[in-house]
Chain A
Amino acid sequence: GEDVEQSLFLSVREGDSSVINCTYTDSSSTYLYWYKQEPGAGLQLLTYIFSNMDMKQDQRLTVLLNKKDKHLSLRIADTQTGDSAIYFCAEGEDYKLSFGAGTTVTVRA
Protein backbone atom coordinates (compact mmCIF):
# COMPACT_ATOMS: atom_id res chain seq x y z
CA GLY A 1 0.00 0.00 0.00
CA GLU A 2 0.95 3.60 -0.37
CA ASP A 3 2.06 5.63 2.62
CA VAL A 4 1.98 9.39 2.76
CA GLU A 5 3.49 11.11 5.76
CA GLN A 6 3.43 14.68 6.91
CA SER A 7 4.04 16.53 10.14
CA LEU A 8 0.91 17.17 12.21
CA PHE A 9 1.31 20.77 13.27
CA LEU A 10 2.78 24.04 12.06
CA SER A 11 2.55 27.42 13.74
CA VAL A 12 3.48 30.49 11.75
CA ARG A 13 3.35 34.22 12.27
CA GLU A 14 1.09 36.25 10.04
CA GLY A 15 3.03 37.57 7.07
CA ASP A 16 5.71 34.90 7.24
CA SER A 17 6.03 31.99 4.84
CA SER A 18 4.70 28.55 5.73
CA VAL A 19 6.30 25.38 4.48
CA ILE A 20 4.48 22.09 4.79
CA ASN A 21 6.40 18.94 3.99
CA CYS A 22 5.23 15.54 2.82
CA THR A 23 6.88 12.25 1.91
CA TYR A 24 5.29 9.50 -0.09
CA THR A 25 6.20 5.99 -1.15
CA ASP A 26 4.40 5.32 -4.43
CA SER A 27 6.63 6.57 -7.22
CA SER A 28 4.17 5.67 -9.96
CA SER A 29 1.72 8.49 -9.24
CA THR A 30 1.26 10.84 -12.15
CA TYR A 31 0.04 13.70 -10.00
CA LEU A 32 0.52 14.81 -6.42
CA TYR A 33 -1.95 17.06 -4.69
CA TRP A 34 -2.41 19.49 -1.88
CA TYR A 35 -5.84 19.85 -0.29
CA LYS A 36 -7.05 22.34 2.29
CA GLN A 37 -9.72 21.60 4.88
CA GLU A 38 -11.28 24.42 6.85
CA PRO A 39 -13.40 23.71 9.95
CA GLY A 40 -16.77 22.23 9.04
CA ALA A 41 -15.97 22.14 5.34
CA GLY A 42 -14.90 19.49 2.87
CA LEU A 43 -11.46 19.12 1.44
CA GLN A 44 -10.73 21.66 -1.24
CA LEU A 45 -8.15 21.04 -3.93
CA LEU A 46 -5.53 23.76 -3.58
CA THR A 47 -3.06 22.78 -6.21
CA TYR A 48 -1.42 19.80 -7.85
CA ILE A 49 1.82 19.03 -9.61
CA PHE A 50 2.59 16.69 -12.45
CA SER A 51 5.19 14.13 -11.46
CA ASN A 52 7.67 15.19 -14.14
CA MET A 53 7.78 18.75 -12.80
CA ASP A 54 10.08 20.05 -10.08
CA MET A 55 8.18 23.15 -9.18
CA LYS A 56 4.84 24.79 -9.70
CA GLN A 57 3.88 28.28 -8.62
CA ASP A 58 0.35 29.52 -8.29
CA GLN A 59 0.04 33.00 -6.76
CA ARG A 60 1.10 32.62 -3.11
CA LEU A 61 1.52 28.88 -3.40
CA THR A 62 4.70 27.13 -4.48
CA VAL A 63 4.89 23.38 -4.78
CA LEU A 64 8.27 21.68 -4.87
CA LEU A 65 8.68 18.05 -5.87
CA ASN A 66 11.81 16.00 -5.35
CA LYS A 67 10.92 12.78 -7.08
CA LYS A 68 14.20 11.10 -6.23
CA ASP A 69 13.60 11.58 -2.50
CA LYS A 70 9.79 11.27 -2.86
CA HIS A 71 9.41 14.57 -1.08
CA LEU A 72 6.71 17.13 -1.74
CA SER A 73 6.38 20.53 -0.13
CA LEU A 74 3.91 23.38 -0.16
CA ARG A 75 5.07 26.90 0.53
CA ILE A 76 2.53 29.60 1.33
CA ALA A 77 3.96 33.07 0.99
CA ASP A 78 2.72 35.94 3.16
CA THR A 79 0.61 33.63 5.31
CA GLN A 80 -2.72 35.12 6.36
CA THR A 81 -5.17 34.22 9.13
CA GLY A 82 -7.45 32.76 6.47
CA ASP A 83 -4.76 30.22 5.72
CA SER A 84 -5.35 28.55 9.09
CA ALA A 85 -6.60 25.09 8.18
CA ILE A 86 -5.56 21.49 7.82
CA TYR A 87 -3.50 20.76 4.72
CA PHE A 88 -3.43 17.30 3.20
CA CYS A 89 -0.88 15.94 0.82
CA ALA A 90 -2.20 13.22 -1.51
CA GLU A 91 -1.03 11.05 -4.32
CA GLY A 92 -2.71 8.47 -6.47
CA GLU A 93 -3.93 7.30 -9.81
CA ASP A 94 -7.29 7.07 -11.49
CA TYR A 95 -9.07 9.02 -8.80
CA LYS A 96 -7.92 6.68 -6.09
CA LEU A 97 -6.04 8.87 -3.66
CA SER A 98 -3.85 8.16 -0.65
CA PHE A 99 -3.78 10.97 1.86
CA GLY A 100 -1.40 12.03 4.56
CA ALA A 101 -2.73 12.65 8.07
CA GLY A 102 -2.90 16.37 7.48
CA THR A 103 -0.87 19.28 8.84
CA THR A 104 -2.75 21.72 11.04
CA VAL A 105 -1.49 25.20 10.26
CA THR A 106 -2.13 27.84 12.87
CA VAL A 107 -1.47 31.45 11.96
CA ARG A 108 -0.73 33.73 14.89
CA ALA A 109 -0.83 37.50 14.87
Chain B
Amino acid sequence: GAVVSQHPSWVICKSGTSVKIECRSLDFQATTMFWYRQFPKQSLMLMATSNEGSKATYEQGVEKDKFLINHASLTLSTLTVTSAHPEDSSFYICSARDRKVTTSTDTQYFGPGTRLTVL
Protein backbone atom coordinates (compact mmCIF):
# COMPACT_ATOMS: atom_id res chain seq x y z
CA GLY B 1 0.00 0.00 0.00
CA ALA B 2 0.92 3.65 -0.31
CA VAL B 3 3.28 4.83 2.40
CA VAL B 4 3.89 8.34 3.61
CA SER B 5 6.72 9.06 6.00
CA GLN B 6 7.44 12.07 8.17
CA HIS B 7 10.70 13.16 9.66
CA PRO B 8 11.36 13.73 12.44
CA SER B 9 8.78 11.82 14.40
CA TRP B 10 9.31 14.16 17.32
CA VAL B 11 11.32 17.28 17.98
CA ILE B 12 11.96 19.51 20.97
CA CYS B 13 13.28 23.00 20.32
CA LYS B 14 13.87 26.27 22.08
CA SER B 15 11.55 29.19 21.63
CA GLY B 16 12.61 31.38 18.72
CA THR B 17 14.19 28.67 16.64
CA SER B 18 12.86 27.28 13.37
CA VAL B 19 11.93 23.67 12.80
CA LYS B 20 11.58 21.85 9.50
CA ILE B 21 9.32 18.81 9.11
CA GLU B 22 9.56 16.61 6.04
CA CYS B 23 6.76 14.64 4.44
CA ARG B 24 7.62 12.04 1.80
CA SER B 25 5.54 9.76 -0.35
CA LEU B 26 7.66 6.63 -0.56
CA ASP B 27 6.13 4.59 -3.34
CA PHE B 28 3.97 6.99 -5.28
CA GLN B 29 4.03 10.48 -6.69
CA ALA B 30 1.98 13.11 -4.96
CA THR B 31 0.96 16.24 -6.79
CA THR B 32 -0.87 17.40 -3.71
CA MET B 33 0.07 17.13 -0.06
CA PHE B 34 -1.85 18.39 2.92
CA TRP B 35 -0.61 19.62 6.28
CA TYR B 36 -2.74 19.19 9.38
CA ARG B 37 -2.35 20.18 12.98
CA GLN B 38 -3.85 18.21 15.84
CA PHE B 39 -4.24 19.33 19.42
CA PRO B 40 -4.85 16.79 22.17
CA LYS B 41 -8.38 15.43 22.15
CA GLN B 42 -9.22 17.63 19.18
CA SER B 43 -9.72 16.98 15.53
CA LEU B 44 -7.20 17.39 12.77
CA MET B 45 -7.27 20.92 11.47
CA LEU B 46 -6.23 21.47 7.86
CA MET B 47 -3.50 24.09 7.76
CA ALA B 48 -2.62 24.20 4.09
CA THR B 49 -2.71 22.42 0.77
CA SER B 50 0.63 22.04 -0.93
CA ASN B 51 0.81 21.64 -4.70
CA GLU B 52 4.00 20.54 -6.40
CA GLY B 53 5.69 23.42 -8.14
CA SER B 54 3.35 26.13 -6.90
CA LYS B 55 2.57 28.10 -3.79
CA ALA B 56 0.68 26.47 -0.99
CA THR B 57 -2.91 27.39 -0.26
CA TYR B 58 -3.38 28.26 3.39
CA GLU B 59 -6.56 27.90 5.39
CA GLN B 60 -8.09 30.91 7.02
CA GLY B 61 -6.27 31.87 10.19
CA VAL B 62 -3.02 30.10 9.33
CA GLU B 63 -0.08 32.46 9.04
CA LYS B 64 1.81 31.73 5.84
CA ASP B 65 4.92 33.53 7.08
CA LYS B 66 4.88 31.45 10.21
CA PHE B 67 4.34 28.09 8.56
CA LEU B 68 6.42 27.93 5.41
CA ILE B 69 5.53 25.14 3.02
CA ASN B 70 7.65 23.97 0.14
CA HIS B 71 6.65 21.22 -2.28
CA ALA B 72 9.68 21.03 -4.51
CA SER B 73 9.18 17.54 -5.89
CA LEU B 74 6.46 14.99 -6.44
CA THR B 75 7.56 13.05 -3.37
CA LEU B 76 8.55 15.69 -0.85
CA SER B 77 6.86 18.54 0.96
CA THR B 78 8.33 20.40 3.90
CA LEU B 79 6.73 22.47 6.62
CA THR B 80 8.95 24.93 8.43
CA VAL B 81 7.70 26.43 11.65
CA THR B 82 9.59 29.71 11.88
CA SER B 83 10.46 31.38 15.16
CA ALA B 84 8.62 28.70 17.05
CA HIS B 85 6.88 29.53 20.33
CA PRO B 86 5.32 27.28 22.97
CA GLU B 87 1.87 27.79 21.48
CA ASP B 88 3.13 26.14 18.29
CA SER B 89 3.61 22.90 20.20
CA SER B 90 1.34 20.38 18.55
CA PHE B 91 1.12 17.22 16.51
CA TYR B 92 1.65 17.94 12.81
CA ILE B 93 0.38 15.42 10.29
CA CYS B 94 0.84 15.39 6.55
CA SER B 95 -1.04 13.48 3.90
CA ALA B 96 -0.43 12.94 0.23
CA ARG B 97 -2.70 12.38 -2.71
CA ASP B 98 -1.64 9.79 -5.28
CA ARG B 99 -1.53 11.51 -8.66
CA LYS B 100 -2.40 8.27 -10.44
CA VAL B 101 -5.64 7.75 -8.58
CA THR B 102 -8.52 9.58 -10.14
CA THR B 103 -11.52 8.13 -8.32
CA SER B 104 -13.88 10.54 -6.68
CA THR B 105 -13.38 9.10 -3.23
CA ASP B 106 -10.66 10.50 -1.10
CA THR B 107 -7.32 8.82 -1.51
CA GLN B 108 -5.21 10.71 0.95
CA TYR B 109 -2.48 8.68 2.57
CA PHE B 110 -1.41 9.95 5.94
CA GLY B 111 1.98 10.15 7.55
CA PRO B 112 2.52 9.08 11.16
CA GLY B 113 2.81 12.64 12.40
CA THR B 114 5.49 14.77 14.06
CA ARG B 115 5.24 15.82 17.68
CA LEU B 116 6.67 19.33 18.12
CA THR B 117 7.40 20.63 21.59
CA VAL B 118 8.65 24.19 21.93
CA LEU B 119 10.23 25.06 25.27
A positions within 8 Å CB-CB of B: 4, 8, 30-31, 33, 35, 40-45, 48, 88, 92, 95-102
Contact = CB atoms under 8 A, between A and B. Distances in A.
Which secondary structure dominates chain B's binding surface? strand
Given A30-B104, A31-B105, A42 B4 contact: yes
Contacts, number: 54
Interface string B27-56: 000001010100001111010010000000
19 contacts: A4-B43, A31-B105, A33-B106, A42-B4, A42-B110, A42-B111, A43-B44, A43-B93, A43-B95, A45-B106, A88-B44, A92-B106, A95-B97, A95-B108, A96-B49, A97-B44, A97-B46, A101-B42, A102-B41
Given A33-B106, A44-B110, A95-B97, 5 more contacts: A42-B111, A42-B113, A43-B95, A99-B43, A99-B44
Q: Which of B4, B36, B111, B112 has the most CB of A within 10 A?
A: B112
Interface string B2-41: 0010000100000000000000000000001010100001
Interface of B: 4, 9, 32, 34, 36, 41-44, 46, 49, 93, 95, 97, 104-113
B104 A42 contact: no
A101 B108 CA distance: 18
A45 B49 CA distance: 19
A97 B106 contact: yes
A92 B105 CA distance: 10
B76 to A, nearest CB: 16
| Residue of A31, A43, A92 with highest tally of chain B CB at under 10 A | A43
B54 to A, nearest CB: 16
A41 B93 CA distance: 10
A26 to B, nearest CB: 14
B26 to A, nearest CB: 12
